[in-house]
C-alpha cells in the first residue's frame, strides 16, 4: 500500500500560515529544504492538494516564474489529485489531467490502494486535518522555520483526540530551521 506523506512549513509556535493566510515566514528556510525535497520527490508519483493550495501551486509552478527552480520540473511531472467540492477541473499549465475528487476520505483510501510510489500532501491544512483524523496519514514532515508569529492557522487540528507519534528523524539546517519527521501510531 502506498504511503501518504504530509509536508508543511511551520513556525516554531506551530502555525502553517499567519493570521491573514500568508506564508512569508517560509522564506526563512534553508536551501537544504530544496535538496531534501528533490530527494523526497524521487519517492512520490502523486501530489494531493486541496482546492486552495492547488490554486496557489497551479498559478506558480507551471509558469515561467518557476522555470529556474530545480523542483519545478519534478512537481509539474507528478500526477495531481485535487480534493474539492467546487472545482470541476484542475488544469495545471498546459496539462489538464489533474483528477478532481469529492470525498477526501474514500477517494484517498482508493489512491493509497493503487500501485505506485508514495503520495505527497502539501499545505491543504483542512484536508490534512480530515485525513489525519481518519487515520490515513502515514508520515508527517514538518519543515520548521526559525520564527515565531504569535497567531495564525495551526498545523494540527484543535480539540482532536490525542494521537501518539513515532519519531523518525530530526535534521537541522544551517539557518536554524529543521526537518522533523514523525509517523502517527495511534
**Is residue 140 a part of any domain in this protein?**
yes
**Is residue 50 a part of any domain in this protein?**
yes
**Is residue 12 a part of any domain in this protein?**
no
Q: Tell me the average pLDDT across 46-53.
A: 94
pTM: predicted TM-score of the whole model, two decimal places: 0.92
pLDDT attached to residue 111: 95
**Is residue 124 a part of any domain in this protein?**
yes
Instruction: Quickly tell me which residue has 493550495 as its cell.
Output: 53
When divided into structural domains, the chain yields a total of 1
Q: Print the domain residue range for 127.
A: 20-184
pLDDT over 90 (residue 99): no
pLDDT attached to residue 88: 87
**Is residue 2 a part of any domain in this protein?**
no
**Is residue 33 a part of any domain in this protein?**
yes
- Count the neighbouring beta carbons within 10 Å of the beta carbon of residue 179: 21
**Is residue 170 a part of any domain in this protein?**
yes
pLDDT attached to residue 175: 80
- Count the neighbouring beta carbons within 10 Å of the beta carbon of residue 96: 9
pLDDT over 70 (residue 152): yes
Q: In whole angstroms, what is the distance from residue 129 CA to residue 23 CA?
A: 19
**Is residue 7 a part of any domain in this protein?**
no
Distances (CA, A) of 131 to 79, 96, 108, 137: 19, 26, 8, 6
pLDDT over 70 (residue 104): yes
Q: Please give, one letter per residue, the 3-state secondary structure of 168-186.
A: EEEEECCCCCEEEEEEECC
CATH label of the domain that carries residue 174: 3.40.430.10
Exposure string for 132-158, b = 16+ CB within 10 A, e = fewer? beeebbbbbbbbbbebebeebbbbbee
pLDDT attached to residue 186: 72
Q: In whole angstroms, what is the distance from residue 104 CA to residue 87 CA?
A: 14
Amino acid at each position: 500500500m502506498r504511503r501518504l506523506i504530509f509536508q508543511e512549513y511551520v513556525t516554531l509556535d506551530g502555525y502553517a500560515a499567519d493570521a491573514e493566510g500568508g506564508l512569508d515566514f517560509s522564506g526563512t528556510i534553508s536551501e537544504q529544504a530544496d535538496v531534501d525535497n528533490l530527494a523526497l520527490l524521487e519517492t512520490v508519483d502523486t501530489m494531493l492538494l486541496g482546492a486552495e493550495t492547488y490554486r496557489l501551486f497551479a498559478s506558480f509552478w507551471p509558469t515561467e516564474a518557476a522555470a529556474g527552480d530545480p523542483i519545478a520540473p519534478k512537481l509539474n511531472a507528478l500526477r495531481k489529485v485535487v480534493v474539492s467540492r467546487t472545482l470541476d477541473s484542475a488544469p495545471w499549465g498546459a496539462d489538464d489531467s489533474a483528477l478532481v475528487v469529492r470525498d477526501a476520505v474514500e477517494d484517498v483510501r482508493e489512491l493509497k490502494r493503487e500501485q505506485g510510489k508514495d503520495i505527497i500532501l502539501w499545505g491543504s491544512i483542512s484536508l490534512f486535518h480530515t485525513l489525519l483524523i481518519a487515520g490515513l496519514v502515514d508520515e508527517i514532515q514538518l519543515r520548521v522555520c526559525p520564527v515565531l508569529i504569535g497567531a495564525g492557522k495551526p498545523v494540527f487540528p484543535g480539540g482532536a483526540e490525542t494521537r501518539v507519534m513515532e519519531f523518525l528523524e530530526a535534521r537541522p539546517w544551517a539557518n536554524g530551521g529543521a526537518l522533523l519527521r514523525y509517523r502517527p501510531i495511534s
